[in-house]
Amino acid sequence: MPTGEPLTVAVRVKPGASRARVGGRFDGPHGPALVIAVNAPAVDGRATEAARKALADALGVRPAAVSLRTGAASRDKLFTVERPAPGVTDVLHRLRDGSDG
């Protein structure tokens, strides 16, 4: 994937988790999704915002580069990553599928 093309990431958010964590796979309505557990409750978009920041951190991009595309009121979300660096898709696959490449 060329640098600069937006990347769409399917995510399954688990709000109110005792431990924040990025990793794992959930086969949801948007296909294979990355599981993101956040401490924030599913109130007033707080879990979505926490998931957005956690995704940015896990992929090594600025939080401003990650935006919610769809799923504001759902646990199943699509995020868009603007201008991802080379290797971001490999990181995503490792986090989601547990593989080394």
Average pLDDT over residues 2-24: 91
Question: What residues contact 72, with CB distance under 8 A and at least 6 apart?
Answer: 45, 48
- What integer pLDDT is reported at residue 85 of this predicted model? 86
Q: Is residue 43 part of a domain?
A: yes
Is the confidence at residue 100, as pLDDT, over 70? no
How many domains are there within the chain?
Answer: 1
Q: Specify the 3-state DSSP secondary structure of 11.
A: strand
Is the confidence at residue 99, as pLDDT, over 90? no
Is the confidence at residue 28, as pLDDT, over 90? yes
- What integer pLDDT is reported at residue 101 of this predicted model? 44
Residue 21 maps to which CATH number?
A: 3.30.1200.10
Average pLDDT over residues 64-71: 98
**Distance (Å, whole) CA 61 – CA 71:** 21
Q: Is residue 21 part of a domain?
A: yes
Is the confidence at residue 65, as pLDDT, over 80? yes
Q: Is residue 76 part of a domain?
A: yes
**Distance (Å, whole) CA 1 – CA 12:** 24
Is the confidence at residue 9, as pLDDT, over 70? yes
Q: Is residue 15 part of a domain?
A: yes
Provide the mean pLDDT of the chain: 93
Is the confidence at residue 3, as pLDDT, over 70? no
Average pLDDT over residues 50-55: 98
Beta carbons within 10 angstroms of residue 47's beta carbon:
23
Q: Is residue 2 part of a domain?
A: no
Q: Is residue 32 part of a domain?
A: yes
**Distance (Å, whole) CA 22 – CA 2:** 25
**Distance (Å, whole) CA 68 – CA 51:** 10
